[in-house]
Amino acid sequence: MTSRAALHLAHGRGAEGHRLCHTQRQLDHHHLTTLLTSIRSYPQWRRRQQQQQQQASKQISYGVRGFHNYFVTHLPSSSLHPDSRSTPGPHHKLPRDASAPHTPDSSGVAPASPPNMPSRDLTVVRIPLRSAKHHFGVFSGRGSRPYNEDVNQAGTINIPAFAKRAPMSLVRSERKNSAGEATTADSPFGDPQVFYFGVFDGHGGSECAEFLRDELHGYIEEAARKFELKSSLRKRNKLLKGGTDKDKAPILVKADVHKAVKLMNDLIDEYKNTIGGYFRRFKPPLFDLNAESNASAKSKVSIESVLTYAFLRADLDFVTAQARKPDPDDPYVSDNLPLNSNEILGSSPHSVPSGQNIIGGPARFKGGSTASIALISTPTPAPFWHPNAHSTIVVAHVGDTRILLCETATGLPVPLTSDHHPSSPSEARRLTRFAESSLVTDSFGEERISGLANSRAFGDMGSKRIGVSAEPELTRMQLGPAQFSFMVLVSDGISGTLSDQEIVDLIKEARTPEEGAKKVVGYATEVSIDGDNATCLVIRLGGWERRSEGGLGSLGTKEMRDARKAEANDPRRGRR
């Protein structure tokens, strides 16, 4: 019943009607007051909603799990649906009067121009990186081993751009050259997306390698967020004077230096108190922000500092998590395992970025893993695989996995990593400087540290005190347009069997990066003697279409590869 009908009914019922009328007026007044109050409070409520949305968006952009296994790109709508034509009929043909070939004598007649095409809208799409076979390929095999302890990761990571800023003329040129083509979308920071590729080779099991595959990119994002790292593409970020022409020098960007110093010092103190030994005198060079080389810089934090912190933080969390678990080799503990198989002794003071409470399995894991990751950042929206695009690659490396570039002009491999073996002069100096010498030589003449072939690795909790560190070797490389044709990441099952030139020559013969990864793993498995796990990642770069033009193409090692393959297939090989 409406209020007006109620009033008419009330007038016809005397005193009872007057009471009903009065009650209805009170209700109308209450509703009106409530409505006015809501209208007056709406701006305040709206402001609160906007603040909450901003906080939520900030949490998403700085989210704990900002890593994605896909990249976002802008595609012309015609690649999804055909362009609508305003008029029917073929549009690729020229008018009949303009079909005659143009000659210099035909003065007064303008040369034929293509018909005007309607502008094509761009559509934002998500493309899973592992499905982009023409841009990325990965393949892994266990060889003759019962298990495959190699793992890998690929995607986009949520950190600010670290590429070197390009001149405005170059930015305009790249935008013009890439007009109408697919371009990558911006990250939550407003920068072009940063791509992340990694290969991890476990030893003694795959638990540490799987932990790095699932968590290492989260540690990098967390470190960038804690350091309050800013983008290198912002105008307010001044580069270090005298270092702008050095392609391999870290680009120092604006960040909270005091907060970064405190985080670094706290991590070093935690290493000293938890592990000791080698780490009592340990201080990474990038953690020493008072060094003379950094004295003239106003902002002393770079992506290299973030990577160093993230690697060391992840390694310490993994080692301390294993130390709190029962040791299956201890007879006093293994006979009386806790009823709850997931029970651990104590809890870690630092939580894993993904929020997982348990790192690894229920029992203590004494093995470890190597790691090699590559981050690619571009100064413009043009993707790094575009022939006209500039890009910056930063590599962080621990162990004997390997990252290579193939130079387009020469066809030669350019290694971005070096093996961290005790026999390496730089590693020998590092170990003798900080820790007592514990190097031994095995029956094959190879030096080992505490029985390990690698002097740097994640995990390996029993060898931490003598210097088996996860401090990464860092390399920065500026890539010009089509300067390199592809990048490849391999585990030691490939790099220990094939030369760098053999690896890149095999990929040159492939039609796609995926086919190249399969060819490398297949050939390495076929000619390998020990049958180690083999993993290969191939990333297309700007010079991919010209990958066979430089040097001798793929013919430089073909004769040697054919001979090795014939020897591997010789039935008499096993009787030697």
- Token pair of 302 as six digits: 């770079």
DSSP string for 517-543: HHHHHHHHHHH-SS---EEEEEEE-TT
Gyration radius from the chain CA atoms = 32
Q: Which whole-number Å values give the CA distances from 448 to 237, 289, 431, 464, 482, in the listed order?
A: 45, 33, 12, 14, 41
Phi–psi pair at 195, nearest 5 degrees: -95, 150
- Token pair of 194 as six digits: 């940063």
Contact (Cβ atoms closer than 8 angstroms) between residue 532 and residue 145: yes
Residue 543: count of CB within 10 angstroms of its CB: 23
- Cα 483 to Cα 405: distance, rounded to the nearest angstrom: 10
Does residue 449 register a pLDDT over 90?
no
Which residues have a Cβ under 8 Å from the Cβ of 75 and sit 6 or more positions away? 122, 123, 125, 182
Summarize pLDDT for 320-374 with one digit per residue, the tens. 999 888 777 766 655 555 544 444 545 556 788 888 777 888 888 999 999 999 9
Residue 29, pLDDT score: 52
The larger pLDDT score, comparing residue 506 to residue 78, is at 506
Residues paired with 344 in a beta bridge: none
> Among candidates 273, 270, 274, 281, which has minimal Cα distance to 309?
270
Does residue 2 register a pLDDT over 50?
no
- Cα 484 to Cα 506: distance, rounded to the nearest angstrom: 16
Q: pLDDT confidence of 185, banded at 50, 70, 90?
A: low
Q: How large is the average pLDDT for residues 208-236?
A: 90
Q: Percent of the chain beyond pLDDT 90?
A: 40
- Cα 408 to Cα 396: distance, rounded to the nearest angstrom: 23
- Token pair of 233 as six digits: 């593409």
Give counts: helices (H), strands (E), the chain.
12, 16
Does residue 298 register a pLDDT over 70?
no
- Cα 544 to Cα 487: distance, rounded to the nearest angstrom: 10
Which residues have a Cβ under 8 Å from the Cβ of 267 and sit 6 or more positions away? 309, 312, 313, 316
Q: Which of 131-135, 285-289, 494-498 has the lowest mean pLDDT?
A: 285-289
Q: Which whole-number Å values give the CA distances from 536 to 3, 197, 412, 506, 525, in the listed order?
A: 78, 11, 18, 12, 12
Does residue 42 register a pLDDT over 60?
no
Q: Which whole-number Å values give the CA distances from 421 to 399, 402, 425, 440, in the listed order?
A: 8, 13, 9, 12
DSSP string for 291-315: SGGGTT-S--B-HHHHHHHHHHHHH
Summarize pLDDT for 260-276 with one digit per residue, the tens. 888 999 999 999 998 98
Q: What size, in residues, is the chain?
A: 576
The CATH fold assigned to 132-420+456-575 is Phosphatase 2c; domain 1 (3.60.40)
Instruction: Return the domain boundaries, the chain.
Output: 1-38, 132-420+456-575
Summarize pLDDT for 426-437 with one digit per residue, the tens. 888 888 766 555
Which residues have a Cβ under 8 Å from the Cβ of 318 and sit 6 or more positions away? 208, 211, 359, 360, 458, 459
Contact (Cβ atoms closer than 8 angstroms) between residue 368 and residue 204: yes
DSSP string for 157-215: E-S---SPPPPHHHHHHHHHHTTTS-EEPB-TTSSBPEEEEEEEEEESSSHHHHHHHHH
Three-class DSSP category at 486: strand
- Cα 438 to Cα 451: distance, rounded to the nearest angstrom: 10
Q: Which whole-number Å values give the CA distances from 255 to 179, 227, 236, in the listed order?
A: 34, 6, 12
The larger pLDDT score, comparing residue 338 to residue 198, is at 198
Does residue 310 register a pLDDT over 60?
yes
Residue 293, pLDDT score: 46
Summarize pLDDT for 468-523 with one digit per residue, the tens. 999 999 999 999 999 999 999 999 999 999 999 999 999 999 999 999 999 999 99
Helix (H) / strand (E) element for 59: namely: helix 14-61
DSSP tag of 258 = H
Residue 102, pLDDT score: 47
Residue 256: count of CB within 10 angstroms of its CB: 16
